[in-house]
Chain A
Amino acid sequence: MSKVLVFTEFQNGNLKRSSQELLQFAATTGKPVVALALGSQAKTGAAQLAHHGAQEVLLCADTAYDAYNPELFSVAAAEAIQQAGASLVLASASSSGKDLFPRVAAKIGAGVVSDGTEITVSGDDVKVKKPMYAGKCFATAQFENAATKIVLMRANQLPVAAADTSKTATITEHAFTKPSLKTLIKEVVKGASEKLDLTEANVVVSGGRGLKEAANFSMLNDLASVLGATVGASRAVVDAGWVGHSMQVGQTGKTVAPTLYIAVGISGAIQHLAGMSGSKVIVAINNDPNAPIFQKATYGIVGDAFEIVPKLTEEFKKILAH
């Protein structure tokens, strides 16, 4: 039977939640599950791959794979897919997943669908629901003329059960071909925040023009740190230079899908609504009762953010302490 290969990613020695989602989903397809794990973190974390459903692990702990390099990784991934005889490849729509797999697809003549939010696998038939126009609508992607189907799933879309530490996998250490590289990774500069990226965060607190000035984002940072949230922003405040583009939620920023999205002082331009409407529960705090954000919100507070947000932070502190 054809296999499913899951491209896995680690952070600080731990298997990322997005990879746990993919392995556990792969196990539900009934096909044998092979995990590809590259870099020295993969060695320490290899057992975790089995706990989430991998039956085989293709491991290459070579430190050459510690930093992502598209030329190096695309050769390794292509070889791993061939060795495993995988007809379905699952990876996260993370920055490396999205960069890598189109290149792999072009290399091996595979089809690739990026940013999936739902996936169904029935035998050889794979269907992927994905947002188009940054979530203004959805479409179902189907493969044709592709012996290998590659699906990049957005984080937080598939359920994760607790790790089953009784499970084991066959771990094969593997050396992949190293092409002569024209790409050199000179440095990886750590981000200012150790928080999850907006695209992976379970809770997002976003601010807009209603915050009046850049310094007032500190109020959101306080709220976010109590909630373990990542802070986002509207396009208006990114364009005004208050915060960096990496924080922008919307059609020309990031598409987010957290469990809880709190929009503070954001009126809700159509581009912003597109980027956040996949959130499960949306709270809008705005002093304008006619702001379009209220059309998408689950709960709305019409009021002064400078009064509401600090109170909210205090109350969350109390309730989450218990």
Chain B
Amino acid sequence: MKIFVCLKQVPDTETKIKIAADGSGIDTAGIKWVMNPYDEHAVEEAVKFKEKNAGAQVFAITSGPKARAVEALRTALAMGADEAIVINSPENLDAYSTAKALAQAITAEGGAHLIFAGKLSIDANQSSVPQMVAEFLNIPHTSVVSKTEYTAENVTVERDVEGGAKEVVQMVNPSLIAANKGLNMPRYASLPGIMKAKKKVIKEVEFSSLGIAGTEQKVKYAGFSLPPEKPAVKLLTGDAASQVSQLITALRDEAKVL
């Protein structure tokens, strides 16, 4: 039984973003890259599933520039994934062609019983790849999942929607689950796990070998810019009562938001 986890290597959330001089992207110099935080929950869920289901094997898969992307796979291996596949892809592929590449590589491995992914990658903020992978593979998906329950044929999940509401969804397997933060507590990679992960061979697939046409790139990002500088804060003065009354006046008469 093959379980796949789709991952991405992204700048650490502590990163202060700088823009490349020509505005074509961010300045990646000095960035610390980490596994996308939501993907950690996907790996944890896959490894937990494996621990409870004899014969399940976890394949971590990513699409990205090989040199950098393999680090996320090493982390997944250290957390307990069995195998890893890197699709060596150009920088800045869009969600459509990334999803197509992942779907094709998963099919080439014989398909999956379950696929896990994070609900969103914190760099492009698209939340698109998991749904697209599911569509390309013609399997059901649920995104923003915070609870799971498995049987041999089905998985029942809870999906977080607006205002703290939840949808309880049952899917026939094979299916794809895109993890939200509340799903589980990702484990830290153990030292023996890290040592073992270093020795594992990561399978390499060239993006160019997948026959994905240039026309399957649908979206391009340009004109990167930083948010406009905020004017300096107006600090209110005096005792609490005075600060409160100044604030109310400012919100009503100056900012005009009341």
* B135: interface (CB < 8 Å): yes
Minimum CB–CB distance for B146 against chain A, Å? 7
Q: What's the Cα separation between A196 and B163 when bound, in Å?
A: 6
Contact assessment for A281 and B233 in the assembled complex, using a CB-CB cutoff below 8 Å: no
CB of B227 within 8 A of CB of A133, answer: no
A313 to nearest B CB, angstroms? 10
A146–B218 CB distance below 8 A: yes
On whether A280 and B236 interact (CB within 8 A), knowing A105-B132, A252-B181, the answer reads no
A185, B125: Cβ atoms closer than 8 Å:
no
Residue of A nearest to B18 (CB): A137
Which of A37-45, A63-71, A159-167 is the contact stretch? A63-71
A70, B160: Cβ atoms closer than 8 Å: no
Asked if A132 is at the interface (CB within 8 A of a chain B CB), the reply is yes
Taking a contact as CB atoms under 8 Å apart, the answer to whether B258 and A70 are in contact is no
Does A4 interact with chain B (Cβ within 8 Å)? no
**A103 interface hit (Cβ, 8 Å):** yes
A183, A190, A199: the one contacting B165 at CB < 8 Å is A190
Complex contact A307–B240 (CB within 8 A): yes
The proximity string for B residues 42-72 relative to A, scoring 1 for CB distances below 8 Å and 0 otherwise, is: 0000000000000000000000000000000
B132 touching A106, Cβ below 8 Å: yes
Query: B173 CB to closest chain A CB, in angstroms?
Result: 9
Q: How many residues of A contact B (CB 8 A)?
A: 99
For B244, what are the chain A residues with a Cβ–Cβ distance below 8 Å?
301, 308, 311-312, 315
Cβ of B248 to closest chain A Cβ, rounded Å:
5
The reply on B109 being an interface residue by CB < 8 A is: no
Task: Name the distance in Å between A64's Cβ and chain B's nearest Cβ.
Answer: 15
Query: Within 8 Å CB of A181, what residues of B?
Result: 140
Closest CB in chain B relative to A247 CB, distance in Å: 8
CB-defined contacts of A132 to chain B, threshold 8 Å: 17, 26, 123-125, 221, 224
Contact A308 B243 (CB under 8 A): yes
Tell me, yes or no, whether A53 is within 8 Å of chain B by CB: no
Please state if B132 and A133 are interface contacts (CB–CB under 8 Å): no
* Tally of contact residues, B, Cβ under 8 A: 88
Q: Tell whether, in the assembled complex, residue A281 and residue B255 are in contact, meaning their CB atoms are under 8 Å apart.
A: yes
B228 to chain A, nearest CB (A): 10
| Residue B217 interfacial (CB < 8 Å) | yes
Q: Are A244 and B220 in contact (CB under 8 A)?
A: no
A215 at the interface (CB under 8 A from B): no
The answer to whether A114 and B125 have CB atoms under 8 Å apart is: yes
What is the CB-to-nearest-CB distance from B251 to chain A, in angstroms, rounded to a whole number?
7
B219 located at the interface, meaning its Cβ lies under 8 Å from any Cβ of chain A in the complex: yes
Question: In the complex, what residue of chain A is closest to B156 when comparing beta carbons?
Answer: A186
Q: B252: CB under 8 A from chain A? A: yes
A111 touches B233 (CB 8 A): no
Q: Are B255 and A301 in contact (CB under 8 A)?
A: no
Contact of A185 among B168, B220, B251, B252 (CB under 8 A): B168
Contacts of A319 in B (CB 8 A): 248, 252, 258
* Contact of B168 with A95 in the complex, beta carbons under 8 Å: no
> Which B residues contact A (CB, under 8 angstroms)?
11, 13-17, 19, 26, 37-38, 94-96, 99, 122-132, 134-136, 139-144, 146, 156, 158-172, 175, 180-182, 214-227, 230-231, 233-236, 240-241, 243-245, 247-248, 250-252, 255, 257-258
5 interchain residue pairs of minimum CB distance: A111-B218, A191-B164, A197-B162, A102-B128, A106-B135
- Having A105-B96, A145-B217, A146-B218, one finds 8 other A-B pairs with CB under 8 Å, namely A106-B135, A107-B135, A130-B125, A131-B125, A144-B220, A184-B171, A245-B181, A298-B233
A-B contacts, 6 of them at CB < 8 A, read: A103-B141, A113-B126, A183-B171, A271-B14, A296-B230, A298-B234
